[in-house]
Amino acid sequence: MFSSAKLALRSAAKTAAFLALGNGPWLRNRLDAVRRSGANVILNLHRVAADDGSDYRPLDPGLFDELLAFVKREFAVVTISQLAERASKPKLVLSFDDGYRDFATTAAPILKKHGLKANHNIIPNCVETGLPPLNVMAQDFVGKAPKDLVARLRVEGFSAPRDARFGQRLSNHLKFRSQAEQDSIAEELVPQFFAWDGFAPTPMMNLEEVRSVADHELGAHSYKHSSMEFETEGYLDDDVRRCATFFDRELGRPMNIYAFPNGSCAPGQAERVLAQGVDHVLLVGERFDKSGAIHTRFTFDARSPSEVRLKAVGGLAPL
């Protein structure tokens, strides 16, 4: 367990590193290197909103605005389907996952202000139920509930100190298992969340809100946010079909982009999705994208303008 002094020292060191690398000559040299490499930058974002207390912290809207101003100046900001097109600048994609309501209420207006489009990969089951994935709901509870309720939270097979990292540890425990296991845990865990009258899970876009942002590029993020490395080939095939049916029935468009949740993709699974007629598969990978049909993305989060700029150029990832 980290002491408060060690955490403070680590935070100060990170701040100093972001200031040094997210400004001046290093940043300009990095941009030149990205341009010479011909690689694409795909940033994987999730929430853009004011801090609401959840342990799953959103990106501040002001920093998102800073990000858009920076990437609009330094990159050709495109969608996934436009990556094969020629551009005079390095190409960058703003790729959102999950389908949180704050995309419609907060992120989309800022994107419109800058004249930019994003890729957004929604979870049909979350659109239908209005509830976020189980691991996100858990982080909502851990961040927002009174400490005595968090201390009493019980999850079969899981034990961890109720410290600053408890929410992330619980999230990992929940999401890195099969969907059947997650559903079984949810039956016992979700009633504990809602036993607290003040519980308010992160809101998701409903169907009308998804349709309202359909001028952006939409893809699927699996039907239930499943970690596919723990699932069978048959489960994956059925998941892709269910997503395609949802897109056809509810959105009137083909489902041609499929983003694997939780960075969870076993060997051969991406190719299996492409074989079902999907045009693009999105992974995470934390590395630059070389285009083609299977794309790698950088997880994006930031707490300062310097960190925004550094992470927008792929951080320290090799080119």
Residue 14 has what pLDDT?
A: 73
Amino acid code (one letter) for 294: I
Distances (CA, A) of 192 to 66, 73, 141, 148, 297: 39, 47, 9, 13, 35
How many helices (H) and strands (E) are present in the chain, helices listed first?
A: 14, 8
CA distance 230 to 177: 6
Residue 5 has what pLDDT?
A: 61
Residue 75 has what pLDDT?
A: 98
Residue 291 has what pLDDT?
A: 75
CA distance 56 to 260: 19
Residue 281 has what pLDDT?
A: 98
* Pair 95, 42: CB distance under 8 Å: yes
**Domain 12-129+202-312 grouped into CATH 3.60.15.10:** no
Residue 37 has what pLDDT?
A: 95
Please name the residue that has the structure tokens 């999705």. 273
* Pair 83, 288: CB distance under 8 Å: no
N-term to C-term CA, the chain: 34
* ∠ CA 282-108-46, rounded to 5°: 40
Q: What is the pTM of this model?
A: 0.94
Domain boundaries, the chain: 12-129+202-312, 134-194
**pLDDT truncated to tens, each residue of the chain (319 aa)?**
445 666 556 666 676 677 778 888 999 999 999 999 999 999 999 999 999 999 999 999 999 999 999 999 999 999 999 999 999 999 999 999 999 999 999 999 999 999 999 999 999 999 999 999 999 999 999 999 999 999 999 998 999 999 999 999 999 999 999 999 999 999 999 999 999 999 999 999 999 999 999 999 999 999 999 999 999 999 999 999 999 999 999 999 999 999 999 999 999 999 999 999 999 999 999 999 997 999 999 999 999 999 999 999 999 999 9
Please name the residue that has the structure tokens 């239930």. 224
Residue 18 has what pLDDT?
A: 78
Radius of gyration of the chain (CA): 20
